[in-house]
């Protein structure tokens, strides 16, 4: 089946640093989404992307839908301790097919 | 809206026992998904429903797993008999248009001893 390769698997960064993570696929997706999961909770949607090349921001978060439709990245600027969690990318071919999730990037922020 | 509600939050059971996980999706959402999360395999889709009808259950690992959605506001995932390798966090998620961002519940952490 379709798979999403998410990297890096984990990151340890200093508070205030910028963070970049990405997601790649061997097949095309028409929707890319980024989720964040905090301990003991379910993933929460951060950003949704629907068009190749689209660049969307949500506060300190910026995500892009790759031109080839096979990748996406998420940037977090000026990280703070509450950014800690697992970040998942997810993709879908159409509204009639379920999301495929990457395995996540575990972010730790050192104050 | 209270979001997607799952119960119980935690379940510890002995091997061989039946386990039932419950989910109440967001009112008005017409798609419901059951996921299993483990460290090794990440988030795996087990089964999903559209308008209460099971569409794809190819992710259900074995016949020991079954899921039902008797109405638009309730779904269950049952494991019978349970085994230690079923230990994981099980999430239910719902959405209106399928791919436009699922809303996840807080999950049920299942431990089978």
Whether residues B104 and A43 touch (CB distance < 8 A) is answered with: yes
Helices and strands, counts by H and E, chain A: 0, 11
CA dihedral of A78, A81, A83, A86, whole degrees rounded to 10 = 130
User: How distant is the Cα of B111 from the closest Cα of chain A, in angstroms?
Assistant: 15
pLDDT of residue A97: 82
Query: For chain A, where are the alpha helices, taking DSSP H only?
Result: none
**Do A94 and A30 form a contact (C-beta atoms < 8 A)?**
yes
pLDDT at position B99 over 90: no
Over residues A37-49, mean pLDDT = 95
Whether residues A103 and B101 touch (CB distance < 8 A) is answered with: no
> Which DSSP helix (H) or strand (E) runs through A15?
none
pLDDT in tens, B32-73: 999 999 988 899 999 999 999 999 999 998 899 999 999 999
pLDDT of residue A111: 87
Q: What per-residue string of b and e applies to A77-101 under the rule 16 or more CB within 10 Å gives b?
A: eebeeebebbbbbbbbbeeebbbbb
pLDDT in tens, B65-98: 999 999 999 999 999 999 999 999 999 999 987 5
pLDDT in tens, B21-35: 999 999 999 999 999
User: How distant is the Cα of A98 from the closest Cα of chain B, in angstroms?
Assistant: 6
pLDDT in tens, A16-31: 999 999 999 999 999 9
Nearest in space to A88 (alpha carbons), one of A104, A73, A74, A110: A104
pLDDT of residue B1: 65
pLDDT at position B16 over 70: yes
pLDDT of residue A94: 79
Interface test with B, best of A37, A42, A44 (most B CBs within 10 A): A42
**Do B108 and B9 form a contact (C-beta atoms < 8 A)?**
yes
- Please state, rounded to an integer, the average pLDDT across all residues of chain A: 94
- In B52-91, the residues whose Cβ lies within 8 Å of chain A are 56, 91
Q: Please, which pLDDT band fits residue A98 given cuts at 50, 70 and 90?
A: confident
DSSP-assigned letters across all residues of A63-87: EEE-TTSSEEEEEE-S--GGG-EEE
The number of beta carbons lying within 10 Å of the beta carbon of residue B3 is 14
> Which DSSP helix (H) or strand (E) runs through A23?
strand A19-25
pLDDT at position A72 over 60: yes
């Amino acid at each position: 089946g379709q798979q999403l390769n998410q990297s890096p698997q984990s990151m340890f960064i200093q508070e205030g640093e910028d963070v970049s993570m990405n997601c790649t696929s061997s097949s095309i997706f028409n929707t890319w989404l980024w989720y964040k999961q905090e301990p003991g909770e379910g993933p929460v949607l951060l950003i949704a992307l629907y068009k190749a090349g689209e660049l969307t921001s949500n506060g300190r978060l910026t995500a892009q839908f790759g031109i080839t439709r096979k990748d996406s990245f998420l940037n977090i600027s000026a990280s703070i301790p509450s950014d800690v969690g697992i970040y998942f990318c997810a993709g879908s071919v159409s509204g009639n097919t379920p999301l495929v999730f990457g395995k996540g990037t575990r972010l730790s922020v050192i104050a | 809206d209270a979001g997607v509600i799952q119960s119980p939050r935690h379940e510890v059971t002995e091997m061989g026992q039946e386990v039932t996980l419950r989910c109440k999706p967001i009112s008005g959402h017409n798609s419901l998904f059951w996921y299993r999360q483990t460290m090794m395999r990440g988030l795996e889709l087990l089964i999903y429903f559209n308008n209460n009808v099971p569409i794809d259950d190819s992710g259900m690992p074995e016949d020991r797993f079954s899921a039902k959605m008797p109405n638009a506001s309730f779904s269950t995932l049952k494991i019978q008999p349970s085994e230690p390798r079923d230990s994981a966090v099980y999430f239910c998620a719902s959405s209106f248009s399928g791919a436009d961002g699922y809303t996840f519940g807080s999950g049920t952490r299942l431990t089978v001893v």
